[in-house]
């Protein structure tokens, strides 16, 4: 069999981090269509998970025993599960409104990606020795608290654009910049911080993050294509960005993150031995980081990711 070049973003060994990939890769829906996805994502990327080519560890004792670290993981993964399900549902409307086959195929694959992510986060919780009933109860708790406070208003905003206004490009913009552009950098932080404490959780994040590179890059190329052809639509899309950012400022995401990072911090102190000298980023040991520092990093990454995507979409005056 001749070796065929693997698209970099589907290569477990060489894919960039979501931060680098989402800022720099240029991917279009024409190339990231259904045959691409079946071959490189379902075929190679996911295939390597099921044939054990990507080494998979079981969840560590540190997260399988009750305590703050396990609570932090449950808190985070139930939230992610709910966010991914909402994304999958919203994507059905992008598929519905897609103006042509390329866009339809790409967003159909993204819909499946998000449904897979929702499943992967939930399945990881099952591996923490929680019963399905306990997981459902934890998901219901998160749905009624942090998800209700943050995800429900975001979903309402997205649906007002996609369902009430039938605004396909507005919907792509909201999803790419205001949802994925914020959540992907948080997921990058998550992958890095769980890596020494629960490598299996970090692997779930890594798989999802490789998909996010594609979602961010293709979503922004769809908006760029549209604004190149219809420059008169810029003010309308800029207004949407401003409205979305105003909404984000009102959402209690900070409180959600403080709670999550506080639990993590307690767990980190308890399991410092597992973490050792592991560096969360170059020159900085995870054990030396604090709640604020990690939150600030995610916040900065998110701003940088959004700004670089907006510039690529020809909407740089929407950047801060
Ligand atoms: Fe996702
Ligand atoms: Fe995504």
Per-residue pLDDT tens digits for 279-288: 999 999 999 9
Q: How many domains does the chain have?
A: 1
- Nearest CA among 73, 49, 43 for reference residue 61: 73
Ligand lying nearest the CA atom of residue 208: 1
Residue 5 covered by a domain: no
CA of 218 to the centre of ligand 2 (A): 11
Q: How much distance in Å is there from the Cα of 103 to the middle of ligand 2?
A: 15
Domain presence at residue 79: yes
CATH of residue 242's domain is 1.20.1260.10
- pLDDT 10s digits, 107-146: 999 999 999 999 999 999 999 989 999 999 999 999 999 9
> Please, how many CA atoms are within 13 Å of residue 171, restricted to the half-sphere of its CB?
26
Q: Is 2 exposed, middle or buried (0-12, 13-18, 19+ CB in 10 A)?
A: exposed
Range of the domain at 222: 13-318
Q: What is the DSSP string of 10-35?
A: G-TTTPPPHHHHHHH----TTTSSHH
| For the chain, counts of helices (H) and of strands (E) | 16, 2
* Percentage of the chain exceeding pLDDT 70: 98
Query: Which residues have a Cβ under 8 Å from the Cβ of 233 and sit 6 or more positions away?
Result: 169, 226, 227
Q: Which helix (H) or strand (E) holds 240?
A: helix 234-250
Contact 207, 297 (CB under 8 A): no
Q: Which ligand is nearest to the CA of 215?
A: 2
Q: Is residue 1 part of a domain?
A: no
Would residue 224 count as lying in a domain? yes
Instruction: State in Å: Cα 151 to ligand 2 middle.
Output: 15
**Whether pLDDT at 1 is above 50:** no
- The answer to whether residue 319 scores a pLDDT higher than 70 is no
Q: Are 240 and 156 a contacting pair, CB within 8 Å? A: no
Domain assignment present for residue 100? The answer is yes
State yes or no: pLDDT of 3 exceeds 70.
no
Q: Determine, yes or no, domain membership for 3.
A: no
* pTM of the predicted protein model: 0.93
Neighbours of ion ligand 1 (CB under 5 A): 84, 114, 117
Measured in Å, residue 1 CA sits from the centre of ligand 2 at: 33
Whether residue 4 is contained in a domain is answered as: no
Tell how far the Cα of 277 is from the centroid of ligand 1, in angstroms.
Answer: 30
CA of 127 to the centre of ligand 1 (A): 20
Closest ligand to Cα 115:
1
pLDDT digits (tens, 9 = 90+) for 41-81: 887 777 777 777 777 778 888 999 999 999 999 999 999 99
């Amino acid at each position: 069999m001749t070796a065929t070049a693997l698209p970099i973003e589907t290569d477990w060994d060489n894919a960039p981090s979501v931060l680098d990939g989402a800022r720099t890769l240029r991917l279009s829906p024409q190339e990231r269509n259904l045959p691409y996805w079946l071959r490189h994502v379902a075929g190679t990327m996911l295939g390597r998970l099921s044939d054990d080519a990507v080494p998979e560890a079981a969840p560590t004792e540190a997260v399988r025993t009750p305590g703050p670290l396990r609570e932090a993981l449950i808190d985070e993964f139930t939230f992610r599960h709910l966010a991914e399900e909402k994304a999958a549902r919203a994507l059905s409307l992008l598929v519905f409104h897609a103006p042509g086959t390329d866009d339809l195929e790409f967003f159909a694959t993204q819909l499946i990606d998000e449904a897979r992510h929702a499943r992967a986060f939930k399945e990881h919780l099952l591996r923490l020795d929680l019963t399905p009933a306990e997981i459902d109860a934890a998901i219901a708790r998160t749905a009624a608290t942090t998800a209700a406070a943050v995800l429900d208003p975001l979903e309402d905003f997205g649906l007002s654009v996609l369902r009430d206004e039938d605004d396909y490009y507005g919907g792509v913009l909201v999803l790419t910049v205001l949802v994925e552009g914020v959540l992907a950098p948080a997921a990058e932080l998550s992958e890095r911080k769980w890596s020494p404490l629960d490598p299996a959780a970090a692997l779930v994040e890594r798989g999802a993050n490789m998909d996010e590179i594609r979602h961010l890059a293709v979503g922004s190329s769809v908006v760029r294509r549209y604004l190149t052809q219809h420059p008169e639509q810029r003010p309308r899309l800029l207004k949407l960005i401003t409205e979305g950012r105003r909404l984000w400022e009102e959402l209690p995401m900070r409180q959600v993150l403080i709670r999550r990072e506080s639990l993590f911090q307690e767990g980190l102190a308890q399991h410092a031995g597992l973490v050792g000298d592991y560096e969360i980023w170059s020159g900085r040991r995870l054990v030396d980081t604090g709640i604020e520092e990690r939150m600030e990093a995610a916040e900065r990454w998110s701003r940088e990711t959004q700004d670089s995507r907006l510039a690529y979409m020809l909407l740089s005056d929407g950047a801060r």
